[in-house]
Chains A and B, each alone.
Chain A
Amino acid sequence: MLYKNPYNNYFDYVVQRDMDKCIRCKDCVTQCSYDANFYDEERDLIYSLDSNCVGCMRCSTFCPTDCIRIVRNPDTFRINANWKDNNVKDLYKQAGTGGIIITGMGNDKPYKNYWEHMVIDACQVTNPSIDPLREPMELRTFLGRKPDRLEVNKDGDITTKLAPQLVLETPIMFSAMSYGSINYNVCESVARAAKELGIYWNTGEGGLPDTLYEYGKHTIVQCASGRFGVSPEYLNAGAAIEIKIGQGAKPGIGGHLPGEKVLEGISRTRMIPVGTDAISPAPHHDIYSIEDLRQLIYALKEATRYEKPVSVKIAAVHNVAAIASGIARAGADIIAVDGFRGGTGAAPKSIRDNVGIPTEVAIASVDQRLREEGIRHQVSLVAAGGFRNSSDIVKAIALGADAVYIATSALMAVGCTLCQQCHRGRCAWGITTNDPELSKRVNPEIGAERLVNLIRAWSNEIKEMLGLMGINSIESLKGNRDRLRGVGLSEIELQTLDIKQAGM
């Protein structure tokens, strides 16, 4: 049967080019890594194959005469409130291929965003605000188990033996992104920035390339079910170890680095053949219970002589509070909760868009539960999953997080335009690709500088916001839900977040 798939005729973007302005420099041809732009020598014209365009805007950014516009394709399927364009398109694609649809980045569906329904309190008249430009403002954050009580001797020295802590100069860390899912230059950008900022970056589950060991003091090394790159040297190189149980973009399923991206360097670090899919199974095969988790936590603690905090990262799911309580009791020093807007290098679209819960509600309920059980101090709480700006972070901390993890916004600082093609290994911005030529598009020095700029700007904004609340330390904001109010939330939503309605 000769059958042309309607999906081939429908595509998201159209490349419009003003040929009067075009100087035939061919930059758009070389910049496009998806083969969407062509030069026709005979006619001296630049063409675009719109169906290949993913809307990454690399060409329009680099066009010296600004003559390219990437616009939404006006050609649509018949309008149907039930069958939206992407439903139709996905269905045709699957009818043609029989495959599970893979995508990259975070959930892009219009679920309610609770950050946008919470507002922050400020001082007026009765309690003075603080000017962060003139007065000291403390953002330093310690992650790790805190003692039940502190004992102090006559000279005022603390005699209680403290558990190992991570010290952050600002309550923001770079979340797990594996070497392989992002390339070496991006890893180096993130590592350098973490060092300069006095915070931490996270290796993700792909191991640590030898040449990045020098950033070990600012590195959280991950141990996931695939155990890629987990050598005793690796465990000891990091400042903390994170057991990855789940990821917000794909709760309940394992990691998947498509074979296209497994080139020599990744093969060496992960110890798998070149070109194979790097698959991390859904569960750790030695973890089927909280007791088993405890066994791995202590195996890692024993392996590093109890010198490093151990974090456990889970995806935010319905009963996240009970799971977090179990994790705290299993001996974790840090729990990272990754909400369903968290990004990914590759995940089935159906899962990314439909599984898990927002980090806002997850953090609120975990913090609440741990407080009720009197074990909140035993463990630090890190929120992850879609932080877009400093106010999201302030709200997360007021809801009970000790710090946050960012990844998507970090990649955006390095150039990402959210085109969601990370799984294809052809990232035109040189981020989620291991192609040696494309990878050169990220310069680690510039990447690091932009990351440092972003975190400095956010940190200054956080200080401003603390100041206007009349608070001079991030510690006093932690779990301080009285400084938040809900706007446009139902009673049960307010209850879940444990915040008051604005005006009350």
Chain B
Amino acid sequence: MKIDSQGMHYKVLNQKINEAVIQGITDIELFNVNGQRYIGDGLRKEVRINVHGVPGNDLGSFMNGPVITVNNNAQDAVGNTMNGGKIIIKGMAGDVCGYGMRGGKLFILKDAGYRVGIHMKGYKTLNPIIVIGGNAGDFLAEYMAGGVIILLRMFGRNDHNNIIGDYLGTGMHGGTVYIRDGIDKKKLGKGVGVSEPSAEDNMLIEDIIKEYAADMGLDAGKILNEKFEKLTALSTRPYSKLYTY
């Protein structure tokens, strides 16, 4: 199904998408998207939504199941508290993407903004994954409690000094961040440790990158050529010493 979103209020557009999903349509193509918010918000069906144009904030928030492909850039809060499904951004994405993410995958081709993957969760088989092809802003993985973030630093603006923001992983108490091509230790938040990925880690990275490369039309081998470093929390209770009673 094709929907021309030109000049459409987000409420109307999302209503149309929702109606289509209820009717059982599984492929939806949106044209002329221009900042409409909440596309795919709360959708709980396995549908494919292909977005042409730039979707607005909160793309795919709270969703559980859909696969959303954006052929351009996206804005802030992509995949906010998302539960399952997949979002593929073939451009850049804004701030607070994947906030409180609980499951599913968020693949970004180029740079992502500030505070990405904050408070990501994970429990046993529920393991959200974010891959950022370019750079990331400050506070990446802050308060991270579970899941996986992979930062490739390959396809963004090529400013090598600024390749990742400050306070990386501040308050992290679970989950893993893998960074390709080494990181500047100065950028690390308190309480985060760097180590070599294990064989198991490398297998996980390989699986994820193969899927990412296929979605983005990239050469996985080239991405995997470089070494990755692994970031984990040094303590599961980073703030426990702060308190008394």
Contacts and interface: CB of A to CB of B under 8 A. Distances in A.
A270 B95 CA distance: 24
A299 B99 contact: no
Contacts of B73: none
Interface residues of A, number: 47
Given A227-B100, A272-B121, 5 more contacts: A232-B44, A272-B174, A286-B99, A303-B38, A348-B243
8 contacts: A93-B244, A101-B243, A102-B245, A227-B102, A230-B62, A231-B83, A232-B42, A232-B44
A235 B44 CA distance: 12
B58 to A, nearest CB: 5
Interface of A: 93-94, 97-103, 223, 225-228, 230-233, 235-236, 258-259, 267-268, 270-273, 275-277, 279, 281, 285-286, 295, 298-300, 302-305, 348, 421, 423-424
Contacts of A267: 123
A103 B243 CA distance: 10
A208 B40 CA distance: 24
A348 B44 CA distance: 40
Nearest to B100: A227
Contact-residue bracket for chain B: 35 or more
Interface SS, A side: mixed
Interface SS, B side: loop
B42 A303 contact: yes
Given A232-B63, A277-B240, A286-B77, A271 B122 contact: yes
B81 to A, nearest CB: 5
B14 interface: yes
Given A276-B173, A285-B99, A231 B64 contact: yes
Contacts of A302: 10-11, 14, 37-38, 41-42, 58
B123 A271 contact: yes
Nearest to B235: A276
B81 A100 contact: no
Contacts, number: 143
Interface of B: 10-11, 14, 18, 37-38, 41-42, 44, 57-58, 61-64, 76-77, 80-81, 83, 95-96, 99-100, 102, 115, 118-119, 121-123, 126, 142-143, 145-146, 171, 173-174, 236-245
Contacts of B146: 271-273
B119 A423 contact: no
A333 to B, nearest CB: 16
B40 to A, nearest CB: 10
Nearest to B38: A302
A476 B35 CA distance: 45
B245 A424 contact: yes
Contacts of A304: 42
Given A99-B243, A271-B145, A277-B240, A303 B123 contact: no
A232 B171 contact: no
B173 A272 contact: yes
Contacts of A226: 100, 119, 143
B145 A276 contact: yes
Contacts of B96: 285-286
Closest 9 CB pairs of A and B: A303-B42, A99-B244, A227-B100, A271-B121, A97-B244, A272-B145, A302-B38, A271-B123, A302-B41
Given A298-B37, A299-B38, A423 B245 contact: yes
Contact of A99 (B10, B80, B145, B241): B241
From B121, B122, B126, B245, name the one whose CB has the most chain A CB atoms within 10 angstroms: B245
B37 A295 contact: yes
B143 A232 contact: no
A52 to B, nearest CB: 13
Nearest to B76: A286
Contacts of A223: 81
